[in-house]
A and B are shown apart, each in its own frame.
Chain A
Amino acid sequence: MTRRSKGALAVLALVSTALLVSAAFAARSATPGVTKTTITIGGTFPLTGPAALYSVIPKAENAYFQYVNAHGGVNGRKIVFKYYDDQYNPANTVPLTKKLVQQDHVFAVYGALGTAPTLATRDYLNKAGVPQVLVATGDSYWGAQYKKYPWTIGYQPDYPGESRVYGQFIASKVPQAKIGVLMQDDAYGENYYNGLVQGLGDAKSKIVDVEKYDATQTDVSQQVVKLKAAGANVFALFALPTQTIDALVVATKIGWKPTTFINNVSSSPTFMGLAVKSGANVDGDVSATYVYDVWNNPNTATAKLYKSILSTYDKGADPLDANNVYGVSSAWTMVQALKGAGKNPTRASLMSALTHLNAVDPFLYPGVKLQTTPTERFPIDQQILEHWQNGGWKPFGHIFSKAR
């Protein structure tokens, strides 16, 4: 044997040993992710990339879990929440979700953000029997397709329901409307657009122009200019935060002042503030909400608890960012479901708890219910319209129930 091949053999032996050692750590308990003292859940979020403005959500969720852990946990177990950065790109979501399931052995995938990422992992998780719960996307699939995908459930009001409310409002309150739509060119944008058309009913002919943009594209000025040129006086903005901010700024700069409808997922006061700072005039813009109004009620017990959770467990978080309220509220629901899953939670008992929700989540808008049944799988389906006045959102009118 030559010196060279001896060296090669030695390397081989070392590598094999290392691999054997690493494989020895694969032991698991009966229910993955659940031990006597912990319960591990995980999710994927855009911490960077085109949707990075949502990166605060998992941090706020984690803050609430820390708060619960500090107060005894769930049935004596502490919640461990692992989240990874998928950059809102489904190609990253798939391997990272496999990592959560097969490597981190999570009990459930919780709160994962984005329509396309959730669609990309839905088949895998349902085949593996891993709960994919309270996903942070409002498409109607999660609630509607439960027969095919029993392990998947959404959380927030669905997008078509929200834009249907806008459509109804425009049809009845804006008689001379000429509607221009800016939408993301994917399933998320389509969901919003379809709801708007349904809500408009006979008034759908008032849509004068529809412009689309690609999720990775952050500059939408071209589309906004076209909508103005088409003569629109109502602007339906179905876009992610970055593009929404850009659109609002561009509209003001080119001297276009339509009645603007901003989808809930981009209407956080923080985003509105960014738009105003860049020169946008957003007075009178309309959106919809369902989370607790910490802006107009800063001194209630709920608002104080919310702020103290953030200041203790998520230092530096902006309490006025609606995404933080969203995160805390979503985490509240997850804790509720984990409690409902029993002293010895299984994946099936978690799904059962999530499909028998009937609770008052303090972090939701008063009057908005958290309710599901095994055949009615939209946890939140109520919301209220709001308009921007004096530097903040003011809810108006009544709560739209059964927004679907």
Chain B
Amino acid sequence: MRISRGTAYGVVAAVVVAVVIALLPLTLSDYHLSTGATVGVFFVAILSLNIVTGYTGQISLGQGAFMAIGGYTTAILTHNHGWNDIATLPVAALVGFAAGVIVGLPALRLHGVYLALITFAVALAVPQIAKNYSNFTGGTEGLALPTHSGLWLYRTAWIVAGIVFVLSWLLLRGRAGRAFRAVRDSEVAAASSGVALPIYKTLAFGISAAIAGVAGSVYVLVNNFVNPDVFGLTLSLYILIGAVVGGLGSLWGVIVGAAFVELLPLGLTTAHVSSSQSVPVIFGAVVIAVMALIPLGAADLLRRILHFGSKTKESVQSSLGTEAR
């Protein structure tokens, strides 16, 4: 197999990022580690949105709902059935996949805004369902989970993030990834080239929801608590904002988007101030700025910086393994 320069850069960059993430615990306090773990959760969640929206072009505002499904799977299995918390992650992925396929079915008929509305409704409905079945979910009182050290949470979150990232990368650079992008760019062209639209659209939703489910599981472990408010609408919106800031259709921007949505609100939280009011304003301003100046997000900015001065066709295309448009 011939390895292109772009792939080689991608691998090197991945290794460098992985080493930095692995070494950070040496310098971070326990509190910062659990914050770092939440960045990992958002990394996985934004990645999940990127697969269905960025790569396949199907708009989803419902990632928070899929996270809720995964999170509750973990919470119920550990709290009510005494499971080991790590062992629940694959189950959360499976349950998330099933939920994603079901939600993905309307995607076969609906486009754009209409599909967005359906997924929006799912994001609103799932927490209410959790409220109603309080025997399992603890209702609004919620369920408490075992506590872990910041280091444990950080390691778990980023190992999960690493696995999900590698699997997504393998998926997206292969046959399925090409099909996804073809669907995004032109459904008619994709269909006439032999891409089975129904299969790939539902597959994208299923995989995306499975990943979001895992993100939800880890989120619940980090907070060692779950109730319906944890998975409110804001969560879905944060994920979307992270994806836009990081760059839809790129795997590399995800880390920037994740850090942005988790660290900015915390950074703005100072004692005695109702900081939460400024967060939406700043988020809004940044999203507008990104859309106006670098529509492809942080990933594109990074690419432009890296390729400054060397405008050969190859290097522009290779660009860390992404083919954002």
Contact = CB atoms under 8 A, between A and B. Distances in A.
A96 to B, nearest CB: 7
Interface string A1-27: 000100010001001100110110010
Given A26-B29, A83-B271, A90-B225, A95 B141 contact: no
B135 interface: no
A120 B142 contact: yes
* A82, A90, A214: most-surrounded residue (chain B CB, <10 A): A90
A87 interface: yes
A49 B29 contact: no
A85 B275 contact: yes
Given A90-B227, A103-B29, A47 B274 contact: yes
Nearest to B9: A4
Nearest to B265: A92
Contact of A102 (B23, B29, B141): B29
A23 B36 CA distance: 14
A62 B271 CA distance: 12
A215 B228 CA distance: 11
Say what secondary structure dominates the interface of chain B: helix
A96 B274 contact: no
Interface residues of B, number: 40
Nearest to B230: A91
B16 A12 contact: yes
B266 A95 contact: yes
Interface string A203-221: 0000000000011100000
A124 interface: yes
Contact of B141 (A15, A101, A186): A186
Give the contact-size bracket for chain A: 35 or more
A119 B142 contact: yes
Contacts of B31: 98-99, 101-103
Contacts of A96: 269
Interface in A227-265: none
B191 interface: no
Contacts of A121: 225
A84 to B, nearest CB: 6
Contacts of A23: 27-29
A387 interface: no
Contacts of B232: 89, 91, 216
Interface string A116-138: 10011111100110000000000
Contacts of A20: 27
B37 to A, nearest CB: 10
A20 B32 CA distance: 13
A89 B225 contact: no
Contacts of B140: 116, 185-187, 215
Interface in B1-33: 16, 20, 23-24, 27-32
17 contacts: A4-B306, A12-B16, A19-B24, A19-B27, A42-B271, A47-B274, A82-B271, A89-B232, A90-B227, A90-B230, A95-B35, A119-B142, A120-B144, A123-B144, A123-B145, A123-B224, A186-B139
Given A23-B29, A85-B274, A116-B229, 5 more contacts: A12-B16, A52-B274, A82-B272, A85-B269, A216-B229
